[in-house]
Every structure is written in structure tokens, then in C-alpha cells.
């Protein structure tokens, strides 16, 4: 049965990506930059720009992206080494049934944000065009679901279009906005009305994308080599995520609007604004829907393509309700996701010493309870320990997992046994 599923599954949702389907640097680079083009990063950039001096902003964004780069780079190394998604990697640390809980949390969050993203596109377009809001939601949800259905190739093509469009049009708009307040020199001299602490600024920067970063393996498993997977991920975060923060900060300082599409609307650039808004949310939503399909595939055993269409239908159907009622809840769910990545990293590098047997040869435990305990510990440390909450979650869950693994006897002898032949 598993072999039949793999034959029709173009995205290898239940198996490792074979070397024949792996991709080189430029293909992965464009895909990962598109992954980091995220509207929430612009809003976070606007918050940082309002609370920091120019140099403080630069150091905070660089520091935050270094932390994000280390985290996502480590996950990408594992994904490129094994060819496995976040959800399949979770089987090694959490067990087969335990990984399904992780997949459920990851996938529900992504479907929820997909629905919210559809409304985030439809509302401003409705405001400037007068088109029916629900028609825009349906059309937007349908288009975004279609490209996610076609998988990694469609995501790459979309990124090839979106990345230069957003970068060039965004830079033109922000440049004009900055000139309107006296140029870059005047912008550098601005002092914040209410100061943010550097620790708070780092928390905002890291927290804006740490949950999405946990899903990096869903994409970097297609990297031809570990070097390609790690380098494209780290560079993408430094370029793509930093550009989103910069757009947000400069736009907010010049016009009071952090989202570059809103800046364009104020400038009367209606068509470019709709293009930027649509492409930015489209790349984000496609990645979310793609990852959710992989997660539910891990739970159900059904190939990703069918689940993407179902998830897109549910996200579109509930879009306005999710937008008006559940953003706070989705944000809370997102805060519980980074420990999953921390545990995967700890298991691969420290417990299993970079030695995962092929997934087809594995007979996993049902639930590895010490991994779930470490997950809970990471969430608790994120909420109650001083410092940077996402970093506390990742480091804390990893430390607890390694400690419990040692007590359980898995640091030297894995409890996972390869499936016997026959």
C-alpha cells in the first residue's frame, strides 16, 4: 500500500525525497526567499522602527535573523541529510502516534493562518475596488489552493515571480516614501517616542517567524546537498526577512503604515499595491497550505495533494470567521510550535548522533512520552522563564529532551529498532 501511495505522490509526503528529485542552489534559494516574504514580518518591522533608533533597529534585526538562521539552518541540515519533512522527522523523536500530535498542531495552525491570510488580501482590495468581499475571499482561496496542490514546482515558479516583484516594487515605493520626509539622512535621525528594550526587540524579531521556521524541512528536504539546504535557508532569512523588516520600519516611519501594500495605496499606486499584496500573501499562504497537507498526510496516510484541496476549502470557508475570532488563538498555538523543532534538533544531533536509519526500515514506537514531556517543558519555559521566549522554548525543550533521553537510556542505545527483514 505504501509503495502505491509513493508512486502517485509527487511531493513525497510519506517518504524521503530521492536524490533524482533534489534541487540546486538557485531553485532552492528563490523558494526559500519566497518563504521568508511574510506580511507579519513587515508589521513587526514597523513596531521595531517605532521603538528603536536606526542603529538599534539594524542590530536587532541582524541579531534576530542570526538566531533564526541558526535554528532553521540546523533543521535544514537535517532535512537535506534525510530528505524528510518536519512531520516525518518528528516520528524519530516523538514516535509514530506522538508525531501525529505534533503534525496536528502544526497543520491546524497553518490552515488557520491560511484563512486569515485570504481575508488579509480580500479586505484591502475590497476597500479600494468595491468588489464583493466574499467573492474576493473565494477567488483568492481557490487560486492559492491550486498552486499549493501542484506542489514544490508550483511554489518555486510562484516565488520566481513574487520575489523580484515584491523587492523591486517595494523598494521603489519605500524609496519615494522616505524621500517625502527628507530622505535617508532624516530617517536615520528619527528618535523613537517610546523606547523598546533590546531584549524585547529580539523577541519580536525572532517570534515573528519562528513558528514558520519550524516547517523549514518541508521545503529544504528538496535540497540537493546539505550545503545547498543550509546556505539557501540562512541567506534567505538574512535577505528576505531583513528586507521585510526594513520595508515595515521605513514605511511606518514615513507614512505610519508598516505593510508596503498599504504604503502604495496611500501613494495612489493601486495596481502595484494589489500585486504586492497578492503575491506576498500568496507565497505565505501557499507555503502554509503545502505544509498543512504534509502534516495531515502524516496523520491519515493520504497523499498531500488531496489534503491540500480539502484544507484550502476549509480555510477559505472559515476565512472570515477565523479572521474575526481566532487570530489570538492561532498566535497562542504558534507559540507552542518551536519546541517541536528544538526536540528534532536535539534528537538528531545529540541523541542519535546524526544517524537516522531510512524511514522505510523503521518500526517506530507509538509514543515517546519523554519527548512530549520535553515539549510541555519548552512551552512552559517560553511563557514563564526570563529572556527571549522562542529561544527559551527551543533550548529548554532540547535540554529537557536530552536529559530525559539519558535517564531513559536512549542516549547510548536507541529505543527505535529497525524493522526486521521479512
β-bridge partners, 417: 363
pTM: 0.89
CA distances from 90 to 129, 231, 309, 367 (A): 45, 23, 24, 11
Residue 6 reports pLDDT greater than 50? no
Of the two residues 317 and 254, the one the predictor is more confident about is: 317
The CATH number of 2-321+334-416, from 1.10.4160.10, 3.40.50.300, 3.30.1490.440, 2.40.420.20, is 1.10.4160.10
Q: Which phi and psi angles does 163 have, rounded to 5°?
A: -60, -55
Burial status of residue 127 (CB atoms within 10 A of its CB: 0-12, 13-18, 19 or more): exposed
Q: What is the DSSP string of 193-216?
A: SSPPPHHHHHHHHHHTTHHHHTTT
β-bridge partners, 223: 23
The model's confidence at residue 418, banded by pLDDT at 50, 70 and 90, is low
- SS3 state at 51: helix
Which pLDDT score is estimated for 2?
45
Residue 4 reports pLDDT greater than 50? no
Task: Please check whether residue 247 is in contact with residue 260, taking contact to mean a CB–CB distance below 8 angstroms.
Answer: yes
C-alpha dihedral over 368, 370, 373, 379, to 10 degrees?
-90
What are the residue boundaries of the structural domains of the chain, listed by start?
A: 2-321+334-416
Task: Please check whether residue 221 is in contact with residue 59, taking contact to mean a CB–CB distance below 8 angstroms.
Answer: no
Give residue-wise pLDDT tens across range 285-338.
899 999 999 999 999 998 888 899 999 999 999 998 888 877 677 677 777 899
Distance in angstroms (rounded) separating the CA atoms of residues 266 and 273: 9
Distance in angstroms (rounded) separating the CA atoms of residues 336 and 332: 7
Q: Nine-digit cell at 319?
A: 476565512
**Helix, strand, coil shares of the chain as percentages rounded to 5?**
75, 0, 20
Amino acid at each position: 500500500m505504501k509503495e502505491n501511495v509513493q508512486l502517485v505522490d509527487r511531493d513525497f509526503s510519506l517518504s524521503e525525497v530521492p536524490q533524482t528529485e533534489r534541487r540546486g542552489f538557485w531553485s532552492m534559494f528563490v523558494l526559500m526567499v519566497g518563504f521568508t516574504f511574510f506580511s507579519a514580518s513587515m508589521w513587526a518591522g514597523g513596531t521595531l522602527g517605532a521603538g528603536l533608533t536606526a542603529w538599534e533597529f539594524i542590530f536587532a534585526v541582524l541579531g534576530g535573523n542570526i538566531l533564526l538562521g541558526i535554528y532553521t539552518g540546523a533543521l535544514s541540515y537535517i532535512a537535506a541529510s534525510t530528505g524528510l519533512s518536519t512531520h516525518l522527522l518528528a516520528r524519530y523523536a516523538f514516535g509514530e502516534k506522538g508525531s501525529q500530535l505534533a503534525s496536528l498542531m502544526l497543520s491546524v495552525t497553518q490552515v488557520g493562518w491560511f484563512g486569515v491570510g485570504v481575508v488579509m488580501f480580500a479586505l484591502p482590495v475590497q476597500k479600494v475596488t468595491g468588489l464583493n468581499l466574499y467573492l474576493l475571499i473565494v477567488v483568492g482561496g481557490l487560486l492559492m489552493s491550486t498552486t499549493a496542490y501542484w506542489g514544490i514546482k508550483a511554489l518555486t515558479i510562484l516565488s520566481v515571480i513574487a520575489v523580484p516583484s515584491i523587492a523591486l516594487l517595494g523598494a521603489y515605493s519605500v524609496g519615494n516614501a522616505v524621500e517625502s520626509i527628507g530622505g535617508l539622512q532624516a530617517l536615520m535621525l528619527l528618535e523613537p517616542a517610546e523606547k523598546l528594550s533590546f531584549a524585547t526587540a529580539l523577541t519580536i524579531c525572532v517570534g515573528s517567524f519562528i513558528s514558520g521556521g519550524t516547517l523549514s524541512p518541508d521545503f529544504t528536504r528538496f535540497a540537493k546537498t546539505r550545503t545547498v539546504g543550509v546556505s539557501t535557508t540562512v541567506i534567505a532569512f538574512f535577505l528576505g526577512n531583513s528586507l521585510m523588516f526594513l520595508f515595515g520600519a521605513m514605511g511606518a516611519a514615513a507614512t505610519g503604515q508598516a505593510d508596503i501594500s498599504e504604503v502604495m495605496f496611500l501613494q495612489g499606486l493601486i495596481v502595484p499595491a494589489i500585486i504586492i499584496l497578492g503575491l506576498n500573501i500568496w507565497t505565505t499562504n501557499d507555503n502554509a497550505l503545502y505544509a498543512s497537507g504534509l502534516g495531515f498526510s502524516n496523520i491519515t496516510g493520504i497523499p498531500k495533494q488531496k489534503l491540500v484541496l480539502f484544507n484550502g476549502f476549509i480555510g477559505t470557508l472559515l476565512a472570515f470567521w477565523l479572521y474575526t475570532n481566532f487570530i489570538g488563538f492561532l498566535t497562542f498555538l504558534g507559540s507552542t510550535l518551536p519546541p517541536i523543532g528544538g526536540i528534532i534538533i536535539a534528537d538528531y544531533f545529540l541523541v542519535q548522533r546524526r544517524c537516522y536509519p531510512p524511514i522505510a526500515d523503521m518500526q517506530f514506537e507509538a509514543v515517546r512520552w519523554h519527548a512530549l514531556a520535553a515539549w510541555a517543558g519548552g512551552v512552559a519555559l517560553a511563557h514563564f522563564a526570563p529572556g527571549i521566549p522562542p529561544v527559551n522554548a527551543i533550548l529548554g525543550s532540547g535540554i529537557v529532551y536530552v536529559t530525559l533521553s539519558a535517564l531513559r537510556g536512549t542516549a547510548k542505545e536507541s529505543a527505535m529498532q529497525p524493522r526486521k527483514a521479512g
